[in-house]
């Protein structure tokens, strides 16, 4: 008989990694994952670019920085053990203008502080040795940056949970969370009626719906999730030879998005993108997907308007690229000159659950709230997939320490 039952809401990669960590760390604990969809990894995890980030971008001392570097080591070992794809293609972060060199140097120092392995500055000539078709005047080269298959990893995590005596329950949309004596009750309304699950502890890893689900547990209203759709182009098969590894721009520190870049995938395709446009639904993977309820939520939140007032120029530029392939590829062509409209076709899209504070600030770091027996992940953007196993350790530490203290 299990000595405790821990529930996890969400069968994306963070939720499944956390369930796996708890099941392996505490034999005898029953872990139950509930997920509204009929399969794992259908949202952010399933629309991920597949990059295993080395930790270049994140402020030293932040949760992102520490958990990303730790997560890479754990993920690499897991993929090797399970014979899952993991290929160190390397990454170039390319400066194409002289005014980007200062930001590139600052990024180099930040990455060194974060202990990113084998990172070095490279000249224009060295760029061509690494990526013969790339542009740029200087770059940072991260040879340990890799690509993988995150949906396959998530499915492997789910199997580990079940093999450890846990359960992954699909078709269980959470409609209520309430404290009961000695535990938490999770309610769901399905086609067969209302179901209830009683657990001793509950962890919320609800991704695009993290604020809504946390609200069911009476967590505070901020940060609120704002969905940003990232759209991709695909290089035509006869043009994929132009890119060997990942080619990125120098990021603008004002935004949590990395800009349009070139990303080889483990299936041999090469993505170009993504842009970042405000989606009209939390699951708005296409321009025509509109949710009046989600739009109403954005409209009444003060942070939305404060964000728009700060970033409307960037928003217009991103929307222009969404509707015009020529505009989309204009920036991409700076990094791989000669690649243009005729070399790409429209690819897929993902939606990023971007947390937004009431003052209009885009939340950059991971954010976790604890509410008695409920632990809520309120912001877990990129590199959450890379860091998933380290985030799982962090959440397990939090939950089990609270268990010991209660």
Return d(Cα 335, Cα 317) in angstroms, integer: 18
For residue 370, count other CB atoms closer than 10 A to its CB: 12
Buried/exposed 122-146: b ≥16 CB within 10 Å, e otherwise: beeeebeebbebbbbebbbbbbbbb
Per-residue pLDDT of the chain (406 residues; tens, 9 = 90+): 458 999 999 999 999 999 999 999 999 999 999 999 999 999 999 999 999 999 999 999 999 999 999 999 999 999 999 999 999 999 999 999 999 999 999 999 999 999 999 999 999 999 999 999 999 999 999 999 999 999 999 999 999 999 999 999 999 999 999 999 999 999 999 878 899 999 999 999 999 999 999 999 999 999 999 999 999 999 999 999 999 999 999 988 776 677 889 999 999 999 999 999 999 999 999 999 999 999 999 999 999 999 999 988 888 888 888 889 999 999 899 999 989 999 999 999 999 999 999 999 999 999 999 999 999 999 999 999 999 999 999 999 999 886 655 5
Sequence-distant (6+) residues with CB within 8 A of 34 are 7, 8, 9, 11, 169, 172, 174, 186, 188, 197
Q: Kindly report the backbone phi and psi dihedral angles of residue 90, in degrees, each rounded to the nearest multiple of 5, phi listed first.
A: 80, 160
Tokens of 43: 């949202």
Please give the DSSP secondary-structure letter assigned to residue 362.
B
Fold of the 224-362 domain:
D-Amino Acid Oxidase; Chain A, domain 2 (3.30.9)
Return d(Cα 357, Cα 340) in angstroms, integer: 38
**CB–CB of 275/258 below 8 Å?**
no
Return d(Cα 173, Cα 57) in angstroms, integer: 35
Report domain extents, the chain: 1-86+146-221+365-406, 91-143, 224-362
Would you list the DSSP string of 243-280? -SSEEEEPPPTTSS---SEEEE-TTS-EEEE---EE-S
Return d(Cα 112, Cα 18) in angstroms, integer: 29
1-86+146-221+365-406 domain in CATH 3.50.50.60? yes
Return d(Cα 229, Cα 274) in angstroms, integer: 8
The most distant pair of C-alpha atoms in the chain lies apart, rounded to whole Å, by 67
Return d(Cα 32, Cα 18) in angstroms, integer: 11
């Amino acid at each position: 008989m299990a000595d405790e039952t821990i529930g996890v809401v969400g069968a994306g990669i963070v939720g499944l990694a956390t369930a796996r960590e708890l099941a392996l760390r505490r034999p005898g604990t029953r872990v139950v994952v509930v997920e509204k969809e009929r399969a794992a990894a259908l949202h952010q995890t399933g629309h991920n670019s597949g990059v295993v980030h080395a930790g270049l971008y994140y402020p030293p001392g932040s949760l992102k920085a520490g958990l990303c570097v730790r997560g890479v080591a754990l993920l690499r070992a897991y993929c090797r053990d399970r014979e899952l794809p993991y290929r160190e293609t390397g990454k170039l972060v390319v400066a194409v203008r002289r005014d980007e060199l200062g930001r590139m140097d600052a990024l180099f120092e930040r990455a060194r502080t974060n202990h990113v392995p084998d990172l070095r500055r490279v000249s224009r000539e060295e760029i061509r040795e690494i990526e013969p078709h790339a542009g740029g005047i200087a770059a940072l080269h991260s040879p340990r940056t890799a690509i993988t298959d995150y949906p396959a990893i998530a499915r492997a995590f789910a199997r580990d949970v079940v093999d450890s005596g846990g359960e992954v329950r699909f078709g269980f949309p959470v409609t209520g969370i309430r404290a009961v004596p000695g535990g938490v009750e999770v309610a769901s309304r399905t086609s067969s009626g209302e179901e209830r699950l009683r657990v001793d502890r509950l962890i919320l890893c609800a991704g695009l719906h993290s604020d809504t689900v946390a609200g069911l547990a009476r967590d505070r209203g901020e940060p609120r999730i704002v969905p940003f759709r990232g759209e991709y182009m695909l290089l035509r098969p006869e043009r994929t030879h132009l890119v060997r590894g990942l080619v990125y721009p120098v990021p603008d520190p004002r935004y949590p998005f990395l800009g349009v870049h070139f990303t080889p995938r483990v299936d041999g395709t090469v993505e170009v993108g993504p842009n970042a446009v405000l989606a009209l639904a939390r699951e708005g993977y296409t321009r025509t997907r509109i949710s009046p309820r989600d739009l109403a939520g954005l409209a009444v939140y003060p942070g939305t308007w404060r964000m728009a007032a700060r970033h409307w120029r960037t928003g217009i530029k991103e929307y222009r690229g969404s509707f015009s392939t020529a505009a989309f590829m204009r920036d991409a062509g700076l990094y791989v000159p000669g690649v243009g409209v005729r070399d790409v076709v429209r690819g897929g899209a993902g939606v990023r659950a971007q947390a937004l504070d009431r003052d209009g600030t885009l939340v950059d770091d991971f954010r976790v709230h604890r509410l008695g027996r409920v632990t809520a992940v309120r912001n877990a953007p990129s590199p959450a997939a890379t860091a998933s196993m380290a985030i799982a350790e962090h959440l397990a530490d939090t939950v089990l320490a609270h268990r010991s203290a209660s």
